[in-house]
Structure 1
Amino acid sequence: MRLPDLTPDDLTDEQRALRERIVGGPRGSGPQRFPLVHADGSLTGPFGVMLHEPALGGALQELGSVIRYTSGLSDRTREIAILAVAAATGCAFEAYAHERVGRSVGLTEEELAALADGTFTSTDPREDAAHAFCRRLLDEPPGAATVLDDDTYGAYATALGTTTLVELVVLVGYYRTLAQLLGVFDVGVPEDR
């Protein structure tokens, strides 16, 4: 392990406060589609990493909470976008976690497989456009800024609206950040302890 799992007994006051915001917020109070907490009390996935730097972790978890629980994206569109990021980045934890969430919001096994291999399409034009837009963002070389010509931007803005475009750009950036954190610190899918 590159970072130790922090159990409740290991935490500073700042880390403990962040842990309480994570487990006491909507992630911990809603239906649990994947484990948020290991048996020893340490947090799974990116949340365990966030505890190591509470100032950044707090901002990250708050942004993630807004994306997951208060954005205007439909549940299916949000999960389609997250799973597109997981597939593009090869992030095993996010694929594991959000396939479970995706099933709960109506994504079929066929749709999940298509998201994993990048061939997803939808009969819903908004879902299809959202996926295509996310893939466009994700297909840019690392470090390159995504620049859309006016016609391409106009087509996405017409299909999705500018608010949805903002939400999707932020979602893709956030989940790319989580994928990088999980990759650098070699955090995988939770195992039973």
Structure 2
Amino acid sequence: MSAGPLRQPQLRPDDLDPEQRTLYDSIVSGPRKGGAFELVDEDGVLQGPFGGFLLSPPVGDALQRLGAAIRYRTSLSGRMRELAILLVAAHHHSGFERHAHEATGTVVGLTAAEMHAIHSGSIPDGLEPAELAVAELTRAMLAGDVDDRLWARCVPELGARTAYELLVLVGYYSTLALQMRVLRTDLPD
């Protein structure tokens, strides 16, 4: 967990008002259900960024729907998606994102060596051309921008749609990392 006391209430299902409960039910029964990591703890408290979503159900619902679209309805392959998410996690030192998405990364075929390279700040060797384009674009986005040369080299490999979806993915997972850091709900990296 980040330094300092927890700033986010640990809301159990019985603590929720009707608007929060609707959002909670949507998260735990939606496409994330049965994934590679537990959404709730033994008391039913939402884990990672999801508990924070309950602080403002209208905003939290928009975020969780965006996250579901990024995870389940883009043109990014599972390996490309998890590669990018793990690069974001490494950049932001987000233990929760690393924990959750290494579990998911294993399911979609990322190797332990690939995930170790990412966590160590490197792009793994032996990536397919589209995966390499995702990794290079993600690192540039995390540094603040993509120069014209890199864009011209990577986007034809991916297509404009996939490049845009990647851009939104990097922004979304960076938002979650910031949320967990500020609310002190992130796991140690």
TM-score range normalised by the length of the shorter chain: over 0.9
Give the letter aligned to residue 45 of structure 2. Answer: S
Give the letter aligned to residue 30 of structure 2. Answer: G
The aligned residue for residue 147 of structure 2 is 148
The aligned residue for residue 164 of structure 1 is 162
Give the letter aligned to residue 76 of structure 1. Answer: R
Offset at residue 157 of structure 1 (A): 1.6
Normalised by the length of structure 1, the TM-score is 0.90
Deviation above 4 Å: which 4+ runs of structure 1?
A: none
Per-residue CA shift, 1:11-51, capped at 9, x if unaligned? 111100100110111011xx331110111111000000111
The aligned residue for residue 16 of structure 1 is 21
Decide whether the 8 Å contact of 2:137 with 2:150 is kept in 1: no
Normalised by the length of structure 2, the TM-score is 0.92
Cα-Cα RMSD: 1.3
Give the percent of matched residue pairs that are identical in Structure 1 and Structure 2.
46
The aligned residue for residue 114 of structure 1 is 117
Report how many residues are paired: 182
Offset at residue 139 of structure 1 (A): 1.5
Per-residue CA shift, 1:118-162, capped at 9, x if unaligned? 21233311101110100000122xxxxx2532x332222212110
1-structure distance, mates of 2:66, 2:74: 10
* 5+ long unaligned stretches in structure 1: 141-145
The aligned residue for residue 3 of structure 2 is none
* 5+ long unaligned stretches in structure 2: 1-5
The aligned residue for residue 48 of structure 1 is 51
What aligned pairs does 1:10-159 form with structure 2 within 5 A after superposition?
Answer: 10-28=15-33, 31-121=34-124, 122-140=126-144, 146=145, 148-149=147-148, 151-159=149-157
1-structure distance, mates of 2:133, 2:155: 10
